[in-house]
């Protein structure tokens, strides 16, 4: 029986300096009837609009063909035959990494000219047995694909990048030959050791930001990093109001007590009921961070204790406008949104 875990996926990117469009493209898709997830990172040659169009075409074809269980050789042949070829370098105009995650825990990675994907297990780089497939068609004769398969385990992280990461810092005194994939692996392991619960988004962000710093904060290439993290689901309980019937107060307290994930309690009345039923310490907050809302208070054993209706309304507004690049403050509503976006399963009481 396959081990059960939550699959967290994120990809962070920085554009080539001076470009408004990224020439790397990341796509993902689910095959619900098969419980499969397919992810693709494609790097278009060059940068800007042309690179983005080529990478989008490549990623879209790779995603669709992989969903249909086409053989890796067939997928690669179709993509390469569709894309134009550089007349000088005799190279296709896009590279790609495909990650196919199956319901039984089998993970297959197919790579063409992108840096090798890194699998972190028990704070070490897992050695993968890669099979090299040499294409034999007239147009693509001699071009090589790398394929590997392994069983995913809870706690595994998969890091895959475009060459803008490995080649960052190229020509600098510190990295004359670029940062290199080995250094990316060592950096990733160091992050996991220092922050054992680091999320996919946080790890991808740190890798991309480090590559950006290697380039002197002026990216010499489009830079992308995708991270997959197989982990326990993060659960969140949001208690938004008191029971209608007083006789249900005890049940409310017990359900909050028994919940094993993070907990948010909203509203003074709700907090007082839970504190009374569970004999918890309550302290009123004094720090006004958000001028629109009362400050956060303290309720023993609860991650966040806030005012009710006004805070809930602001949470709704923040979520409606939220994107991956949104910057959140330290106010009560902002802190709730942070917990919501970091959680996988959210329950309301």
Domain definitions of the chain by residue range: 6-231, 235-348
Write the pLDDT tens digit of every residue in 287-311: 888 888 989 999 999 999 999 899 9
Task: Express as a percent the part of the chain with pLDDT over 70.
Answer: 96
Closest by Cα among 338, 336, 316, 329 to 289: 329
Q: Which span out of 2-11, 188-197, 277-286, 321-330 was modeled with the highest average pLDDT?
A: 188-197
The answer to whether the beta carbons of residues 117 and 152 sit under 8 Å apart is no
Class of domain 6-231: alpha beta
More confident residue, 45 or 254: 254
| pLDDT given at position 86 | 56
Using pLDDT thresholds of 50, 70 and 90, give the confidence band for residue 1: very low
More confident residue, 3 or 271: 271
| pLDDT given at position 232 | 87
Q: Which span out of 97-111, 158-172, 234-248 was modeled with the highest average pLDDT?
A: 158-172
Write the pLDDT tens digit of every residue in 203-232: 999 999 999 999 999 999 999 999 999 998
In the predicted model, what is the mean pLDDT of the chain?
A: 90
């Amino acid at each position: 029986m396959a081990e059960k875990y939550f699959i967290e996926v994120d990809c962070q990117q920085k554009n080539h300096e001076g470009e408004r469009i990224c020439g790397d493209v990341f796509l993902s898709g689910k095959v619900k009837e098969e419980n499969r997830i397919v992810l693709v990172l494609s790097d278009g040659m060059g940068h800007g609009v042309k690179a983005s169009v080529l990478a989008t075409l490549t990623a879209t074809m790779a995603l669709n063909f992989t969903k249909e269980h086409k053989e890796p050789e067939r997928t690669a042949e179709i993509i390469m035959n569709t894309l134009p070829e550089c007349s000088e370098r005799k190279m296709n105009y896009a590279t790609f990494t495909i990650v196919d995650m199956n319901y039984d825990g089998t993970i297959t990675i197919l790579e063409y000219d992108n840096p090798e994907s890194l699998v972190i297990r028990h704070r070490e780089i897992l050695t993968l047995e890669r099979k090299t497939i040499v294409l034999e068609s007239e147009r693509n004769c001699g071009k090589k694909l790398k394929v590997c398969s392994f069983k995913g385990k809870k706690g595994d992280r998969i890091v895959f990048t475009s060459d803008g990461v490995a080649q960052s810092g190229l020509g600098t005194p510190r990295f004359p030959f670029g940062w290199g994939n080995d250094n990316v692996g060592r950096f990733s392991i160091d992050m996991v050791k220092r922050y054992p619960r680091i999320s996919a988004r946080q790890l991808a962000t740190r890798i991309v930001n480090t590559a950006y710093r290697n380039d002197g904060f002026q990216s010499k290439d489009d830079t992308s990093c995708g991270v997959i993290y197989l982990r326990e689901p993060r659960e969140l309980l949001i208690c938004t109001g008191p029971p209608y019937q007083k006789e249900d107060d005890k049940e409310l307290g017990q359900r909050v007590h028994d919940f094993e994930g993070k907990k948010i309690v909203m509203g003074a009345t709700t907090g007082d009921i839970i504190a009374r039923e569970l004999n918890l310490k309550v302290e009123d907050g004094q720090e006004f961070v958000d001028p629109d809302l009362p400050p956060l208070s303290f309720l023993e054993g609860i991650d966040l204790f806030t005012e009710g209706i006004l805070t809930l309304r602001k949470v709704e507004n923040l979520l409606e406008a939220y994107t991956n690049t949104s910057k959140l403050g330290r106010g009560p509503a902002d802190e709730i949104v942070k917990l919501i976006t970091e959680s996988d399963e959210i329950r309301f009481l």
